[in-house]
Amino acid sequence: MSQSVTIERIERYFEITEEARRKATPSTTNEIDSERLSTMLRMCDDYVSDARHFAKEGDLVSAFGAINYAHAWLDAAVKIGLMDGHGDDRLFTLP
């Protein structure tokens, strides 16, 4: 398996993160948790945007890092119970 950061690898991580973003659904039960989840989703979306910018500029290492951070925000929201990952242990580290 190649250890290189390629645009193809980054695009694959974009696809996985977008799939996870669509699949996970909010499971908050109060306003404070809803606000926390909103912040986490905004961070995810901001990192996706950053990753796209870095990829466009040809900075593949930064793009790879940013898209992984984006997915980590989703994964964390599922892990702590602010989102439901619907049993998908491919996309999320389940509780």
Q: pTM to 2 decimals?
A: 0.93
Task: Tell me the two tokens of residue 24.
Answer: 């996970």
What's the pLDDT score for residue 95?
72
The answer to whether the Cα torsion of 56, 2, 16, 75 is positive or negative is: negative
Q: Please give the Cα distance from 37 to 45 (Å, whole number).
A: 12
Per-residue pLDDT of the chain (95 residues; tens, 9 = 90+): 668 999 999 999 999 999 999 999 999 999 999 999 999 999 999 999 999 999 999 999 999 999 999 999 999 999 999 999 999 999 999 87
Q: Please give the Cα distance from 76 to 92 (Å, whole number).
A: 8
Domains of the chain: 7-84 (1.20.1270.90)
What's the pLDDT score for residue 34?
98
What's the pLDDT score for residue 63?
98
Task: Tell me the two tokens of residue 12.
Answer: 């694959």
Whether the Cβ atoms of residue 16 and residue 71 lie closer than 8 Å to each other: yes
